Chains A and B, each alone.
Chain A
Amino acid sequence: MGKEWRLINFQASDAYTNMAIDEAIFLMREKLSLPPTLRFYSWQPPAISIGYFQKANDSLLNKYKIKKIIFVRRFTGGGAILHKDEITYSLTCSLDHFPLFKDVIKAQRIIHRAIILGLKNIGLNAKLSEKENKPDDYFCFAKPTSFDVVKEEKKIAGSAQRRKNKSFFQHGSILLNNEVLPRNIDKKEIVKNLIIGFERELKIRILPGELTKEEIELSRKLKEEKYARDEWNYKK
């Protein structure tokens, strides 16, 4: 069990839909005993996501709000991210599939190693940060903290988790602008290589799959009743 993972393939959606799909996968996993799932996506239009506990009236976020860039509160922790020129992934599994994920830092390190391996395939040399910084900036990419993915000391991938009973979930963002990429390369091509990185590092097989009817239904409900609403996004 746990060796064959489901892939929800790369697609671009709006901020509310993206967050609603992720939470639906997380909540349905235990209920329907779904396989571990890896999903890659991007944000159309570009948007900002903020961590579960972050304040929605922070002055840094307000600068973007003035420019009419929408924002959404995640159900995971961590700092704010501008989702533009990047790829987002989400990984959901049971802690029974991956007991090593019980430890927050170990899980983060393993997943980041998979990303580094994947990026290597496209000629991008990144590594785990050895900096001992504490995450004290509003924006996630402001500076690297321990075990973030860096390229020449610049943070290029960060992550945040949610845990409920035996369900594990990690969100992550990989920055892929012209400064970071070694050449002009299609996002789908990057995702293909990241998948290889995950397969090797986690010793799993990732098979193309689809969301179940239940996940789709729940994601629609979550979008409408939670993520598209101010009650949730301005909660703090």
Chain B
Amino acid sequence: MAPEMHTDKVYEAELSQLRDRLLVMGGKVEAAIAGSVRALTERDPALAEKVIAGDRDVNRAEVEIDDMCRRLLALRQPAASDLRFITTALKIVTDLERMGDLAVNVAERALDLSHSPPSRPFHDLTELADLSAMQLAKALDAFVERDVKKAEEVIADDDRLDTLYHRLFNDLLAYMMEDSRVIRRATSTMFAAKQLERFGDHATNVAEMVVYMVRGTDVRHPGSRGG
């Protein structure tokens, strides 16, 4: 956070409470995506069910954090870095909630696939899962440490996720063309992969907001803004 403490200690405490809540929520989403991917690769329906049930906590955290942000805006009239922090929190929380939903989607595919015979392993799927989970972890680190460099790495690494996803897509397509009996399974896997790729996009959104929060400059959608 900013180097100086607030003259008003209660306000200071509220801001750090908001940050802690976001991190706890982020931790839940990290656990959800890791769990759903493990449920998928290890064909573990119980774990998938656990991820699906856990989404309620993520949703509740979103509502609570939104409420905290609105109260801070109304009662403290924050300025400068505090204003950027709170508006960033308001945006990040939406991304985190959506990422929780994507983890649920993966878990539902895992549940579905656990009833079918195993597919051949797809190395790129594991890598895609690891990388997208890491992207979120890194974006949250960047948020806590106010580390623009780390946030920019997250933004740059999104290309790797896209590359992995497209390779996996083609791989699965070839797999289906070889053997039409696997179409159902492969489609489920493809759907899960798409969720992981989307998950990475949301991690990029978080990272972009971190750059804004620290520097006050908006790095989203380069070239789409006049002047």
Indicate, yes or no, whether A interacts with B.
Answer: no
